[in-house]
Structure 1
């Protein structure tokens, strides 16, 4: 027995020393420290306590009632336990204090006669858990406040299997205060649909059940017959699908609906009452136009929100997983998640570019272009894109005029049109690409929303299914698509439309159901010379050669972007000077510091934008190359899309390899110009 005790004692000592919980042993009625493990000493600020009483070693604990509790445990022999008890610890008199929350027990120890002669202390520091729980409660309170403050009705419903089959009924698990005001039903939380409105249940289950099954959000209007309210509703599934929950936001549009019904009744008798009711008719038509405008805005914002939420989910999830793998020490897995996040960033940049194209605010790099040459250079790519079942014919007009356009964006527009034609011919057919010179007189130009003059047309026609008039009317709307879910974003034609308009032209659709479709892009004639193919810039990315000690001035008011650009340039071997606004950059330019390239954001604070900075810098330093980096290029800043020689532009976000190559090219261009 003594032998076993000799073996166990070192193990117990090791456990005591290495235990993650704090432990201490107090002897006698004065509670003198006999033992204290490292966890206990760290908790109290590594004070010297062994051999001292609690009152001597921890005066900050006496005022908090610790000694009184120890006296009770020693006197009664009854253990004392506490969970989440708050203590303020002050390691040194007059020093800083720390608020800690502890789970602990004071366990009395007895001698061979059964008398208490010591108290064993054991516990854990639960400060982080307690503060996290407090933050969670505060967050829930904030969420509840916001939840109840919004003006629209909002609820979360949860499906369950009822007598009518799987997911045939649902219960309201949350609802805000505005629910009753809009829907007219009080105390909805906990109510089941088929008990609330049994005669209408099938219609509502069908609507929301489709959202639950497919994950596709919906926006619709429907009457709640039980209360006589017309509601405008939007619903989205709450992931994961296993929760079987759908979130619904809605508002009462009864008054607007009645106005629309009144308008329909008014139109039925308009011929007899046109004189009497003309004023009311104009007012009702304005209300209808506003309704349609809001519907279009809703479609646009809903599409943007859907696509960007998917992209943000990919970025956020990838970064969280990368962070988790780093914490786990699984470094080999990190690159896969970072690659996923970069891919999502590129998708976001592409979506932004297409939206800017539709709004005519994308950054263009226009040059003289021969459209026939461009089309002929793309025929192989188009053939691979549309497949072998579709015959392609290119008809280029002889003596075709030159246009001034962004060749890359024109190629994208042509490829989009060809892919749309392909989708309209699932069983194969003929695709024709035709160019022509067009003289537009007043009448012809007005029909195409153009100014009278000379234009080049690029038309893509197919022998596909064609479009109904109502589809043609909406085909250029962003996020509008007739393709099945997952087979189209609804941004292709809107990008074509925006590009054509931003280039000074227009796009038009000519189509009939069953007779195919022709879509034409009209671009103004340009009198300048076409850049030969050998002189055109290439988009291929090659490793940027090492820097030769050149100096670059970087100006950006966004600290993170500026830091990344500076880091990249310094890593390549350039000397970099940085500034966060125009005035501070001008002070550097006015100094004798050599500068080989100016890299600047377009939108800068403090009264001087990037274009104004570039103009002033080039006045003081003629021949200075300028590279604008911007989220989008404002026309007023970039002279309606046309940059002066020596000025260049890149649109954020961009890959650092491409940026490095562009910088090298510009510095080499300046060096060649000096020779």
Structure 2
């Protein structure tokens, strides 16, 4: 296809008449000079037989000039060599005064064969020269030898032109063969290869193509949709363009088909009647480019996956830090609030005792959180060490059960145990108790009232197995593979039902593996309970494995020194607090009670709610002057509550001032609270003086 413009230019620019005939002596094309001397139009010639267009004498098909011309052409077909008619008288039309006039004229004609890839004649190139005037001059001249010389000179010029044309044809053929893409011509309804260049042959493994239909030359493509495409192009006359199309080709004998990728064009070839009679094929093997693109796409996908993992890790880190802040600030609020109340006000002994119990309970909760943080820090640094010695696992489990039994009984749970009392493992008793306590306390925390927690210790397959099963809320199947990952929680949202940092199971897994054991979790799904299994080697096997390694002393850091604190100072209750109606919302009962005491000590009228639903109902019923609400609560959070209130009309309290009192204390948390409709954001833990100052600042003016 790349050589085609040169071919057209040659015909268009040549001053000599040229035409191209096929093997049936039908016109394929003709140049402008030919059309001019024959007073013809190209569309009237293409596809039409030479002797049908110019019979010399229509009344006598076997007239001598026609037979002479046919003999020359048939000689070329037979010998595959050029033939020259030095002089022939032949009748053709010519334009005179704008009208065609038929007359006998004299011509010199050269017929040159155009061979296909097999050396057979595919076309005949006819070059004609009108020598009528020279012949007439010869006939009329008194000097015939001079005229003859002129005719011979003209014939020599014709032969020279034919040599030049043949050189051009060979040049075009070389360009066709050397084209960087594969080029071919298909003919007829079975798509017979008429031409195929070297690149085409190389693509298909050097198999012969010319003269064979596609389904015979390339049988493997029959089931790949290409024959249907060719049929469609031939039927519709519409070209088809394919990009990055996969094709399986038998390129090497005895080997399976090889996948290649090609870009190609099927361009219909039209005959004189405008019907598609063949297809011109032009394409490029783009396999290497496609492989590079696939490699780049794979590399990009890996990079994007790595980026997603990094972003997920950053998100988990941010969520974990927010959770740490929340879980630390929540008990601090109750501790600090009650301590300051006890230091600045006198209370009856019973209330004082309950206040101290609240402080102790929250202090222990905070201590557990801090211990978990320190443990996970040691795990990450590789500094968590054991002091191994033979330990009766049953005794360790019993001690852990005693510590969680009060909580289980308070929730109305059945705590069942079946323990092998004598089997021993080699381990650190304190760390093993930490593992057991973590598993059992989780089971208690996630099992609803009336449920059951079962603990079993028994030998199994030469080891000792601890099994903790509950009838609680279970573990979602998509989270089960991540249950022992640090910083991961099945529900890490502000509306989660249960607190904690999500570190306990990660620490337990690390401790079990330090003991040479394994831990696993099972759960049929949400609401169907969960089972945790810990397998530890018996003491005899473990001692044999560690006989060459001396025990490492425990490296548990001593508790941090107590920080000095400024004694609590009495605070003055602003006048705006007297009689101020405040709705307090917090899911923690200890915090609600502390807030109630602080506010009522300043003369405020306090209503308290433990959930958004309860708070909204109290709000509609009591119409408080100000709302003081936690943010992170089970079910609906504080943002949902303030949005519901802001949706009310002004007459129904929709503009009531609201303060967010929350353990989510980041800058983005403050921004989110203000955007949700709160007027102020007060982070936990909060000084009573700071709290009443914030509320009094928003208290509505009274008449």
Give the structure-1-normalised TM-score: 0.31
With a CA cutoff of 8 Å and minimum separation of 6, indicate the structure with the bigger relative contact order: 2
Give the structure-2-normalised TM-score: 0.30
| Structure of higher CA gyration radius | 2
